[in-house]
Amino acid sequence: MGLNDIELPASVVASLYPSALVSEGAEQRGEIAIKAPEGASQQAEKAPAGEAQPFVWKFLGNNKRAVLVVVNNTDILHLPDEDLNFLTTMLTACKLSLGDIILINYNNYLEKGGPAAVKYFKSREVLLFGIEPADFGLPVSFPEYQVQGLANVQYLYSPPLAAIADDKTAKGKLWGSLKKIFGI
């Protein structure tokens, strides 16, 4: 039996379409209208008891350029103010803004895994600050400041933002990698 030969009972079709399938007045024109059973629309909108609520990503930014910036902070939702200031300065040097990126704190999504975030945000570049590639869920390991391509996504792994902000050598290495990624 092929997909085109599947026949569903009327009650199943009605539950799939909680409102009328055919417009009002169909019966007068000789058409058949299938209406949902009473209470079906309420059942379709509510999750069954005991079922988990849908997953919600908490992030900063508008993702205009599909750049995912991932940090790892245990005691704050996203970033401390000093790290955010350093990040915005770095983004400005790359001709980007917070509107061009998505910033997530990976500590909040350890159970989801990094590839889920990359897929959800449709990222083309991923900057990992303080998260090793293997801990992010990548199948490869690569050194700090090396731009690594994988499945049409460019990854960059570096120390946490706080560690880079006060280290001139680390800033220089990061800048060199960012120039490669963003063609600066």
Q: Higher model confidence: residue 42 or residue 8? A: 8
Would you state the pLDDT for residue 75? 82
Instruction: Compute the mean pLDDT over every residue in the chain, rounded to the nearest whole number.
Output: 78
**Does the pLDDT value for residue 160 go beyond 80?**
yes
Would you state the pLDDT for residue 64? 92
Q: Where are the domains of the chain?
A: 8-45, 67-182
Which residues are within 8 A (CB) of 130 and not within 5 positions of it... i.e. 6 or more apart? Answer: 71, 72, 158, 159, 160, 161, 163
Which class in CATH covers the domain with range 67-182? alpha beta
Q: Check: pTM over 0.75? Answer yes or no.
A: no
Would you state the pLDDT for residue 42? 37
Would you state the pLDDT for residue 8? 57
Give the mean model confidence (pLDDT) for residues 88-92.
91
Looking up tokens 């849908």, which residue turns up? 54
| Amino acid at the residue 160 | P
